Structures are given as structure tokens and as C-alpha cells.
Amino acid sequence: MDAANYASLAALCQRVFAQPLRESMPECPAAVSAPWCLTLLTGQVREPSLQALQAFLDGQQWRVVGVDILACRAACCAIRLQLDSELAFDDARRALLALADGLDMELILQPGATQRTPQLACFDMDSTLIQAEVIDELAKIAGVGDQVAEITLSAMRGELDFQQSFRRRMGLLKGFTEASLADIAPRLPIMPGAPRLLRALRGLGCKTAILSGGFTYFANYLKDNHLAVDVIHANQLEFDGGALTGGVIDPIVDGARKAHLLQEIAEEMHLSLEQVVAVGDGANDLPMLALGALGIAFHAKPKVRAEAPQAIDGFELDAALYLFGLNDRQIEALLDDATQ
């Protein structure tokens, strides 16, 4: 963080939102007392965009009662506005999504009470913690990539029942060898920001879980080699003679099962759903995204982005930490502690 840039941004925010800000980032943001928080994420803050946002808020009679700059970096600026207003969440969320598209920023609305560290964070795996749909990668090697990819996309768009699509895809992978799986696992690209987010959550005492329609084989590899994960629930691969049978082992982890597992883990940990957050990208993640204090659609398909309570589109996965009420000074301190 550049101190001069921070001071300049603080002056700009103070001018536009008429709220006092310190000239340097404090150790921690102000306590949240308003009923709603609106987090602005952008690569570059532009005064006309802030003015347009303020005009929109005035038009809605959503009064800004506090401003905190959570991040001021070349790749990401995060500004949190506390809003004192009565609003209908779903209508407000949709209006802000439409507004953000025209302002070159992301606007994420959440109840003020959810600006806190969760006690349990549940993640989808494929296209959320890793930059791949594993079943598609297996299919490419097996020579059925186009067929499987089309089924996957239809399922993620919500056009096909997940269980039916999963059985169809697995049938196409019959004969794939276990030795080939071991070659693929180290090549899975980790989602940028995922290791930082999970390490920070562990430092905060938050338990983490993978709830995936992918495979335990790869989820366990990630847990053992890359990501600070506590619990894994995913689909098991069925082998015979060192090769996939093309069958499945029930129960399949689909959207309904993800939601059930989230609730089950929370109960086992004696947590209320207000202490849980979920992150995913596909239509089969929507049931769990609807359950917790926050349901964050990450780099999601349009249908999921439109329906999820919160969405992060153009930033790395660790941008979720700003929705937990943390600023960059706190995050860096957590990560420094984790490496000592």
C-alpha cells in the first residue's frame, strides 16, 4: 500500500461521501453499527464513478454514515460504506448489480451484522478453489472432452439435473486409469487468492470445508499440498482393476447435498447458520449460497451471479476477506503470523 495514494483516496472519499477518514490506514476498520454495508471493489477509483454512486444512494435515500478504505493497491481498491436505511435486500442487490456494470466497479451489499469473521467457510472446489473443472480435464485426456464439457456447461447453467449429468459424464470416463489421475493432480491450477484466503481464515480460527461435486481424490490432494482445509465432502471415484468403472458411488454430492452437508457440519460444530459463509460458482452451489450469513458467487455464471446474495467477479478469491470486515493491514498481519 502506497501511503500517498491512500491519503489521496481518503481525501476523495471524504469529499464525495461527506464522511471523515484518517489519512493513513488504521490498524482495523471502524466498528459496524449500521444495518447495511456496501463494499465497493475496483481496480482504479474514479471520482465520477464515486459521484454517480453517491447520487444513486441519495436517490434511494440510503444514507452513508461511515466510510472505511479496506484496500488501496494497484490491483484492488476496496471501500466499505455503512448505510443507515430500510431496504428490500433482493431488490437493492439487483439494482446495485445493474449500477455497478456501468461504473466499472463491483458493489456488494450485505447486512451490517455479517461484517465479521465466520466460524465456518464452505467452498466449492472446481472453478472456485482451482481454475478447472476436473471432470472436463479427465475427459480431454480420455478423448471425450467435447462431449463431457457440453454436459458440464449445461449442468452449471442449471439446464440439466446435476445427478443425471454427473452419471452421464462418468459413463464416458470408463476405463480411465488411476495412474493418470496421479499425473493430473499436480497440474491443477490453484485459483489466485485461494491459499491466502484459506490461510487467513485458519489464522482467524475459522474452520473450512470443501463441498464439491468433484472428486475426493483431488480435494484430498489440494488439502495435503496446497490449501488449509479442514473438512472434505466430494464424490468418490469407483475403480476396478486400476481403472474407472464408469459408475458412481452414492450419494452424489449435488446442490441439495451441499446444502445438507453445510447444515450438518454447522450442527456438528454447534454453530448457527449466521456463523457460516459459502462460496461457489455454479448453479449447483445456489442452495448452499442461500443458507449462510453470506453466499458469495465467485467468478460465477450469469444465472448464479444474478441469484446469489453476494458476488465477486473481477478479483482474486481473497477479496472475500473484505466482506468479513478486514482491511489489508489486518490481512497481512494474519499471513505474517501464519508463516512464523
CA 127 to chain centre: 10
Query: Pick the catalytic residue: 68, 124, 136, 254?
Result: 124
Query: Pick the catalytic residue: 68, 91, 104, 126?
Result: 126
The two beta strands, 106-111 and 120-123, are: unpaired
Query: What is the rounded distance in angstroms from the CA atom of residue 157 to the CA atom of residue 50?
Result: 33
Q: Which long-range contacts (CB under 8 A, 24 or more apart) does 223-226 make?
A: 225/186, 226/190, 226/194, 226/195
Query: What is the rounded distance in angstroms from the CA atom of residue 162 to the CA atom of residue 283?
Result: 9
Question: What's the grid cell of residue 27?
Answer: 490498524
**240 among known catalytic residues:** no
Kindly tell me the sign of the dihedral angle through the C-alpha atoms of 137, 139, 143, 149.
negative
**224 among known catalytic residues:** no
Under DSSP, the state recorded for 177 is B
Query: What is the rounded distance in angstroms from the CA atom of residue 158 to the CA atom of residue 285?
Result: 10
Residues 6+ apart with CB under 8 A from 47: 12, 16
Amino acid at 211: L
Give me the half-sphere count of Cα atoms (radius 13 Å) on the Cβ side of residue 201: 30
Query: Which residues are marked as active site?
Result: 124, 126
